[in-house]
Amino acid sequence: MKVTVIGGGSTYTPELAGGLAELELDELVLMDPDRERLDIVGGLASRMLRDRAGRVRLTTNLDDAVEGADAVLLQLRVGGQRARHGDETWPLECGCVGQETTGAGGLAKALRTIPEVLRIAERVRVLAPDAWLIDFTNPVGLVTRALLDAGHRAVGLCNVAIGFQRLFARLHGCEPSKLTLGHVGLNHLSWERSAWVDGVDVLPGLIERHVAELAGECELPAELIIALGVVPSYYLRFYYAHDQVVAEQRGRPTRAQEVLELERRLLAMYPSLNDKPKLLEQRGGAHYSTAAVDLLSSLLADRGDVQVVNVRNDGTLPFLPASAVIEAPSRITRAGAVPLAVPEVEPLQAGLIAHVSAYEELAVRAAAHPDRAHVEAALLAHPLVGQYDLAQGLADRLLAAHQAWAS
């Protein structure tokens, strides 16, 4: 079995490599256009997998990387952390949240990322037509939708759900495999509405006994979680506490600046290590390797288990178009991911899901046609923007930033 990682020079890669050691791989190919970075990161990954997996090979050539692959993992960051820094700063000038996966910053990232991902996917279609594309590249929901719209064999993956599964299992005192989430929403716009252990929903008890820790995880007030009766993902903070987040972001370094420093330190450490360092935990992406290996195993071995992934709606949420991409518990087989039926979604959640899903449809159009009309329409549709003067100002900044990056 051949597995390829596009963006193999990411400092995340040693985390992923540790998980992939569990699979019976003939070849793991790490591909990245930055040869120097690839050699540093790939060197550590190779040492970690020595005698534990098949051959690890490094390449800067896309066709070489994907030809004959059984699965291709996408974890690229077009424009790097410096472009991310822009996504996290210029929206603040208009009084809007600066974030790389939602709002104006998320749209800017989508415009950079989707064309490149589709270019890669076309080479996979030609050179490995039966391969699965597993997308961990943000914004995952938008990228996955663009891939599916273009007819690619793709599943989107995020670590939010598996993080909550691990947290709830720890609080309840059971193994994660014993706990099933009632997860609903879109990528980075999701809620945990239940947590089932042996046929019993333990979430109400977890909220009652551990609301302070759950509130800390979400960075939202405990009284809000009690009132909702569900646990929102951290990303709901950008909606439920938007103005507070903007005020905080204006007074501190961006996450991109923090990650640049972390990456500098990690890349300096990697050449002398044979295993991933503790510092890597600060990089983000907790449990990513576990989620990726679980998904790979199920797609390639036809396990038929249930995992939370990004997949076509196809009627699962009746208030969304069938073509929408949702994040939901899905049955995973060799044929792909099929979302399970979910209980009716409360209006408080359904309204926001529908609003953001409409924005995502327009955002994918804007990535295909990055002109002012499409960009402004997507921004106007986003609930974190929603006003014409804001949409105009943000469109000016986004297009200027996009043109500067492209040149």
- Neighbouring CB atoms inside 10 A of 406's CB total 10
Contact indicator for 11, 266 with CB cutoff of 8 Å: yes
Contact indicator for 72, 64 with CB cutoff of 8 Å: no
Q: State which amino acid sits at residue 162.
A: I
Identified catalytic residue from 12, 235, 288, 359: 235
For 8, list phi and psi in degrees, rounded to 5: -65, -15
Contact indicator for 133, 75 with CB cutoff of 8 Å: no
Question: What is the CA angle 335-341-343, rounded to 5?
Answer: 160
Task: Please enumerate in sequence order all residues whose Cβ is within 8 A of that of 216, keeping only pairs 6 or more positions apart, or say none.
Answer: none
- Neighbouring CB atoms inside 10 A of 91's CB total 29
Tokens for 28, please give them: 């793991």
Q: Treating both helix axes as pointing N-terminal to C-terminal, what angle do 103-127 and 347-368 enclose, rounded to 10 degrees?
A: 60
Tokens for 93, please give them: 């000038």
> Could you tell me where the beta strands, DSSP code E, fall in 145-290?
154-156, 179-186, 189-197, 200-201, 231-232
Q: Which of 101, 94, 90 is nearest to 390 (CA)?
A: 94
How far apart (Å, rounded) are the C-alpha atoms in residues 63 and 59? 10
For 284, list phi and psi in degrees, rounded to 5: 100, 180
Q: Is 184 left (phi over 0), alpha (psi -120 to 50) or beta?
A: beta
- Per the annotation, the verdict on 12 as an active-site residue is no
Q: Which residues are catalytic?
A: 235
